[in-house]
Amino acid sequence: MKYFEDIELGEVWDLGSREVSEAEIVAFATRYDPQPFHIDAAAAETSYFGGLIASGWHTCAIFMGLLADSIKAQKLASLGAPGIDHCRWLVPVRSGDVLRGRTTILELRPSRSKPMGLVTCRTELFNQDGTKVAQLQGVGMYGRRPVAAVAEDTELGVSA
């Protein structure tokens, strides 16, 4: 398990990538953001965006999908998140785009009242051309290393 204590300032997580299909763009937006430029390819053609684009909330959801996979892969003691300081949707996300995420750790703060730490991080999402499509900065909560686990690891000679 990777705890708050194991996260280092300036650490960069490559979140991997996900391809965004037209079917997924339309399915997400039909349920959560049914505006013509997200759900109707023909109407989207004549819109300001010149074609179907993903809902910004869908882009955020894809970011979270990548982060959740990374949390699992890194065995991070994630406890959820209190919020996002700011998020910018910089360039439209279109069907066929392959989004890659990169998270940088900006600040580490132990909680005074709970056995957790608050981790401020910035995530950038890039498309297959290397163009940044979104950037967000937020805080995640991660569990502290239990005292018993420290002792156990030491006894067994397990490195963190």
Partner 1 sequence: MTYLEDLVVGEERQFGRYEVTEEEIMDFARRYDNQPFHTDKEAAKNSMYGGLIASGWHTCAMFMRMACDAQAGQNRMAMMGSPGFDDLKWLRPVRPGDVLSARSKIVSATPSENKPDRGTARVQIWVLNQNGEIVLEMTSMGRFLRRPDETNA
Q: Applying CB under 8 A, which residues contact partner 1?
A: 28, 31-35, 37, 48-49, 53, 55-57, 60-62, 64-65, 68-69, 71-72, 78-89, 92, 138
Which of residues 9 and 146 has its CB atom nearest to partner 1 in the complex? 146
Nearer to partner 1, 35 or 159 (CB): 35
In the bound complex, what is the minimum distance in angstroms from residue 154's beta carbon to partner 1?
26
Least distance to partner 1, CB of residue 122, Å: 14
- Nearest residue (CB) to partner 1, 88 versus 96: 88
Residue 106 CA: distances (Å) to CA of 7, 75, 109, 113: 11, 20, 10, 22
CB of 125 to partner 1, least distance (A): 12
- Could you tell me the two tokens for 147? 């005292």
Q: Are 88 and 97 in contact (CB under 8 A)?
A: no
Is the CB of 108 or the CB of 139 nearer to partner 1? 139
Give the CA distances from residue 18 to residues 15, 53, 60, 70, 128, in Å, rounded to whole numbers and listed in that order: 10, 16, 12, 12, 10
The overall longest dimension of the chain from CA atoms, in Å, is: 67
Q: Two tokens at 84? A: 């996002």
- In angstroms, what is the minimal distance from the CB of 155 to partner 1? 26
